[in-house]
Amino acid sequence: MKKLLLSITCIFMGQTAFACSELLDSEMRILDSAESQNLCEYEGKTLLVVNVASRCGYTYQYASLQALYEKYKEEDFVVLGIPSRDFFQEYSDESDVAEFCSTEYGVNFPMFSTVKVRGKKAHPFYKKLKKESGVEPTWNFNKYLISKNGKVVSTFKSGVKPDSPELISAMLGLQLFTSHALGLSLLTHGLLDHPFSFRHSQTQEQIQHTHQLPPWRAKLP
């Protein structure tokens, strides 16, 4: 029994212990602070990277971004907010940005310094995002969904709300794929008695039903 548990632990660690990807190996200064953080600290988590702004028609999305973070943060999901003045709708003083998102929307997900997110002078992290995805922000609240192994798997334009079925489905699908990969490893090593099936596509009704179960831990159909 001890040998079985040790084998399962080793396989699980092999599935979840990721080396930092080139994409996330990026230094970002924390909002309104002299302290910097390497994004490798978020390796092994599902990330939603959003270029935010305080005076934009999409600023209301702060509320659903915060709600999404609160709902899924215990499931290794993190929203990364990155202010930008590229579209002239962000405060010039970072202290004003920090106060606005905190007092108006109660934001407590990680927020970073104001940077350029497009063009030749874009922050190195955003240059990597563009290189990997082929997409750069055309407006505020562009979104990149990054897998636990540090790869861009989906991008969403400003008009796609954080709580939209389109975005939620992508998140849930990503988590189902990760769970399936772990199950296959267990099966390959002879630690599962019966194979299980994995559907590569679900109807919207199935996705919404799955979403009602504990997030990202729903049983496979």
Give the Cα separation of 213 and 149 in Å (integer): 24
CATH, range 17-160: 3.40.30.10
Q: Which helix or strand (DSSP H or E) is residue 208 part of?
A: helix 204-212
pLDDT at 120: 96
pLDDT at 158: 98
Distance CA 170, CA 77 (A): 13
Pull the structure tokens for residue 183: 């199950």
The helix/strand/coil state of 2 is helix
Tokens linked to 103? 């007092």
**Helix, strand, coil in percent for the chain, rounding step 5:** 40, 15, 45
**CATH 3.40.30.10 segments of the chain:** 17-160
Residue 17 has a pLDDT of: 54
- In this predicted structure, what is the pLDDT of residue 177? 59
Contact 79, 109 (CB under 8 A): yes
* pLDDT value at residue 179: 53
Q: What is the pTM of this model?
A: 0.75
Return the bridge partners of 143, or none.
Answer: 50, 156
Chain centroid, CA 100 distance in Å:
23
Provide the token pair at 218: 């729903």
Q: Is 143 exposed, middle or buried (0-12, 13-18, 19+ CB in 10 A)?
A: buried
Retrieve residue 6's tokens: 């040790």
> Measured on CA atoms in the order 116, 121, 125, 126, is the torsion positive or negative?
positive
Beta bridge partners of 79: 48
Catalytic residues: 56
Q: What backbone torsions phi and psi does residue 52 show, to the nearest 5 degrees?
A: -105, 165
Mean pLDDT by 10 residues, the chain (221 residues): 45 56 97 98 96 98 98 94 98 98 97 98 98 97 96 97 94 67 46 38 39 38 38
Compute the C-alpha angle 77/27/97, nearest 5°: 70
Residue 174: per-residue pLDDT: 77
